[in-house]
Amino acid sequence: MNSHTAQTLDRIIETLPQRYPGPGGALAVLKDGQVLEAHTWGFADVEARLPFTPETMMLICSISKQFTCSLLLDLFPDPSVLDADVARALPGLRDDVPGILALCHNQSGLRDYWAQAMLCGAPVEGFFGPAEASRLIGRARTLQFRPGTRYSYANQNFRLISEILESRTGRPFADLLQERLFSRIGMPHADLNADTSSVKGGTIGYEGSLASGFRPAVNRIHWTGDAGIAASLEDMIAWESFIDRTRLDPQGLYRRLAAPQTFQDGAPAFYGFGLGQMTLGRTTVTGHGGGLRGWRSFRFYAASERISIVVLFNHMADPRAAALELFAAMMDEPARDNPANPPDAAMAGRYLDPQTGLAVRVELACEGGARIHYASSPEPLHAGPQGDLLGGQTRLAQTPEGLVLDRPRENVHGQILIPCGGAPTLDIEGQYHCAELDATLSCVAAGGALYGAFSGDLGQGAMQPLVHFGADVWLLPCPRALDYEAPGDWTLQFLRDEKGQVTQVEVGCWLARGLQFLRRLP
């Protein structure tokens, strides 16, 4: 590393705690398996004044998924021998049952169970334990797409893997992780921390900001293979060193995890075995982020450069952005701005994706770009060279047939969006029931405004104002959820019979879509 790169890296590290403010954090930069920089700052518990150190335990959240898949490949080099175990875990599923690899690659077609929990009335900071998880996962009767054909994030894919490994071996998942992975890799503190209400060593996760103040985040969720592991910076450095040390072994765990995957039609998949594949400039990296209420983390490995970056926060700042800054410094590349071409204003508007039944909103941004509201959070777009709009996940193009949506990472190509307009229809009051989830949607008029809420055996959700989107299409906001990553707006598409009477509503968000709620007669 030359002196200019070293100075740039030092400057970023020195100022990073101020630019991503919060109670505490940790980062590491490795090259060729060796630590170049390891830095911690702030406090693991601000009230107890417990300092953040390299040994401080953190919930690494969804980074857990790659360890779950590592354990799977270590125990069962041919994971497909567990396909029948998946079928036994989903006894009520009427559609094609996904194989174990479809779970590993988020190609199962299962709807995310944390999103569905909100449809069953789960309170924002409520308790969700193994019994609730088993009951909700066991209700699956239908899929949102045929296994292997598309990508959609579903946490229970990895919970199911961990439970299948326990059943097959007769050993607790925590013991398997310790014996088969952590002790062999040299991760001295890493452990399963399934009960997220507390963390080993007393680290606290925080919500809030400098303006509003930081407060301890409340977590009452029981996680397993999907997001249940806690680790320290020291542990994560050991993992990155192991990755680099075994990079040339054809049967090395991380090499198998990071192997390119495809969909059933042969199209390249950008997610597999709990790892996402990303391109930073001209460099391909593999990694994953994680987030629970109060906890954010991100790590990746650039195999061609033999560079690893790890960022851990016990607050809600963006660790991915921080990691990208560190990587740009290592590559001695300036931060790249998107082209300044103005977007085509004609693309802005409201649309419906007919394949998923989801609302799509494209809006111009004051900074000169655009945003698409489609998945869990808005995605920034910039004008491309062909007059299209481009983002990390999305391409929008205007064609004679209409506005076309491409999301290659999900294997979605050439989807023509339907313009969505029309006056609000107010005859949607009533109750609607989903047999698959045994959940109820209540639509109520209160003083001239329409409100909606879900309820079920997990509780009674709070009433939210319904937002008119188009003729017979409304949005039910879900800004907070049981898990930190809220589903976003639920799309409510009301359907009518030949007499024009509303008979049902199709409910969905990007994480869980295509659920049918039938109107209950008065």
pLDDT per position as a tens digit, 361-372: 999 987 678 999
Q: Percent of the chain at pLDDT above 70?
A: 98
Over range 77-90, report the average pLDDT.
98
When pLDDT is averaged across residues 343-370 and rounded to a whole number, the result is 92
Of 333 and 14, the one with more pLDDT: 14
**Residues 30, 308 contacting (CB under 8 angstroms):** yes
**Mean pLDDT score of the chain:** 95
Q: What is the gyration radius of the CA atoms in the chain, in angstroms?
A: 23
CATH code of domain 345-419: 2.40.128.50
Q: Please list the alpha-helical segments (H only) found in 289-356.
A: 319-330
Report residue 312's pLDDT band, with 50, 70 and 90 as the boundaries: very high
Beta bridge pairs of residue 352:
359, 418
pLDDT above 90: percentage of residues in the chain: 89
Kindly list the domain boundaries of the chain, sorted by start residue: 3-109+144-330, 345-419, 430-519
3-class DSSP state of 93: coil
Domain covering 3-109+144-330 assigned CATH 3.40.710.10 in the classification: yes
| SS3 assignment, position 209 | strand
**pLDDT band at residue 521, thresholds of 50, 70 and 90?**
confident
Tokens of 378: 């808005």
**Predicted pLDDT at 317:** 97
C-alpha to C-alpha distance for 374 and 262, rounded to whole angstroms: 24
Q: What is the pLDDT of residue 335?
A: 55
Q: How many CB atoms lie within 10 A of CB 295?
A: 28
At residue 2 the predicted structure's pLDDT band, cuts being 50, 70 and 90, is confident
Q: How far apart are CA 104 and CA 372, in angstroms?
A: 28
Global pTM value: 0.96
Give the orientation angle of helix 156-169 with respect to helix 64-75, to 10 degrees: 30
Dihedral over Cα of 109, 113, 118, 124: its sign: negative
Task: Indicate which residues carry an active-site annotation.
Answer: 62, 65
Return the pLDDT at 332: 85
Contact between 362 and 370 (Cβ < 8 Å): yes
Query: Which residues share a beta bridge with 186?
Result: none
Query: What whole-number distance in Å separates Cα of residue 350 and Cα of residue 470?
Result: 8
In whole angstroms, what is the distance from residue 344 CA to residue 360 CA?
Answer: 17
Q: Is the pLDDT of residue 5 over 60?
A: yes
Concatenate the DSSP letters of all residues of 252-280 into one string. -HHHHHTS-EE-TTSPEESEETTEEEEEE
- Per residue in 243-276, pLDDT (tens digit) is 999 999 999 999 999 999 999 999 999 999 999 9
What band does 425 get if pLDDT is binned at 50, 70 and 90? Answer: confident
For the stretch 49-70, pLDDT in tens is 999 999 999 999 999 999 999 9
On the question of pLDDT at 397 being above 60, the answer is yes
The closest of 379, 306, 367, 305 to 337, measured between CA atoms, is 367
Q: What mean pLDDT comes out for the span 442-463?
A: 95
Predicted confidence at residue 339, as pLDDT, reads 57
Find the mean pLDDT for residues 169-197: 97
| Tens digit of each residue's pLDDT (9 = 90 or more) over 116-146 | 999 999 999 899 999 999 999 999 999 999 9
- pLDDT mean over 469-479: 94
Query: How many residues are present in the chain?
Result: 522
CATH fold match for the domains 345-419 and 430-519: yes
Mention every residue, 6+ apart, whose C-beta is less than 8 A from residue 428. 443, 450, 472, 474, 494, 502, 505
Residue 338 clears pLDDT 60, i.e. is over it? no
Query: Does the pLDDT at position 336 exceed 70?
Result: no
DSSP-derived 3-state class of residue 147: coil
Phi-psi region of 273 (alpha: psi -120 to 50; beta: other; left: phi over 0): left
Q: What is the pLDDT of residue 337?
A: 53
Give pLDDT, residue 1.
Answer: 72
Calculate mean pLDDT across residues 171-180: 98
Q: Return the pLDDT at 80.
A: 98
pLDDT band per the 50, 70, 90 thresholds, residue 377: confident
* Average pLDDT of the segment spanning 104-117: 97
Residue 298 identity: F
For residue 200, pLDDT beyond 60:
yes
Check residue 182 and report its DSSP letter. Answer: I
- Which range is least confidently modeled, 9-13, 104-108, 445-449, 510-514? 445-449
Residues 504, 428: Cα–Cα separation, whole Å: 9
Give the SS3 label for residue 425: coil
First-residue to last-residue Cα distance in the chain: 73
Structural domain 430-519, CATH architecture: Beta Barrel (2.40)
